[in-house]
Amino acid sequence: MTGDLKFHIELKGGVDLGRIERSGQCFRWIPDGESYKIPAFGMLVKASPAKKGTDIEVLSRLKKGITEDHVKKLWSTYFDAELDYSGIRSMPDKNDAFLIKAAINGDGIRIICQDPFETLITFIISQRKSIPAIKTSVERICSSVGRRIPGTDVFDFPTPRELSSLSFDELLSCGLGYRASYISSAAEAFDRRDMDAESLSSMDDESLLQTLMTLKGVGVKVANCTALFGFHRLDLFPIDVWIQRALDKYYGGTFPLEKYHPYNGIMQQYIFAYRNELL
């Protein structure tokens, strides 16, 4: 498939697409050799390794009226092109050998800025599921709605209205289990605009977290992941079993957040990517 638009995004401080895909942020990247096909924003793009950044090829899109400049801005924001990650990797305290190694290991990881609603739903699904199981459920949801990106076998992520239109049995058939009611409730809240990305974006970190946690089934971890990966709140530090294991082993149970403001979320990603060292 030949794309209708190709461009380069310069990414200060480097990028490693494979490390990003394995870092637990996103569940829809499709490996294609050293490249990845990524469905987002009603498009399917191919992101490929390139000197000083990544090359983007727009393979297909649902809407043709979007300008080239707008498409480039969307994907530059998605890859956090304005932030230089090299300085952040040098932040670990000189006496913190574990975090120094984790940051070196995390070279190339960037916090991608995903659609907030998609991020919320995928992290609700992620509760007590393996990454392969999460991916399977997400793709089943997308195909159940049936909004195929033209000329591909990939489906766009559903809008709140599309997702709320699925019956409870249809949601259960996606392998969601008890999460089906959480997803139905969240989709309805966004469809009614009791909650929307624009108003949530205007909130400070604490208000954002507290508002997200008013949704059924959204606890501290899901709210923090949604805020970090969907609203780009880079100072938030989601804690799962792997992160807690690191905190218990190296930090007496609590991470020194005051040292790494405003980039605690990036430090969290470095620790998560280094989790195999904790086995």
As a CATH number, domain 6-93 is: 3.30.310.260
**258 burial type by CB count under 10 A (0-12 exposed, 13-18 middle, 19+ buried):** exposed
CA–CA distances in Å: residue 139 to residues 52, 112, 130, 156, 205: 32, 20, 14, 9, 30
As a CATH number, domain 116-230 is: 1.10.340.30
**What does the pLDDT read at residue 146?**
86
> Whole-prediction pTM value?
0.95
Q: Per-residue pLDDT tens, the chain, 279 aa: give them.
A: 556 799 999 999 999 999 999 999 999 999 999 999 999 999 999 999 999 999 999 999 988 778 999 999 999 999 999 999 999 999 999 999 999 999 999 999 999 999 999 999 999 999 888 889 999 999 999 999 989 999 999 999 999 999 999 999 999 999 999 999 999 999 999 999 999 999 999 999 999 999 999 999 999 999 999 999 999 999 999 999 999 999 999 999 999 999 999 999 999 999 999 987 665
Q: Decide if 6-93 and 116-230 have a common fold.
A: no
**What does the pLDDT read at residue 65?**
78
The two three-digit tokens of residue 98, written as one number = 């574990």
Annotated domain spans of the chain:
6-93, 116-230
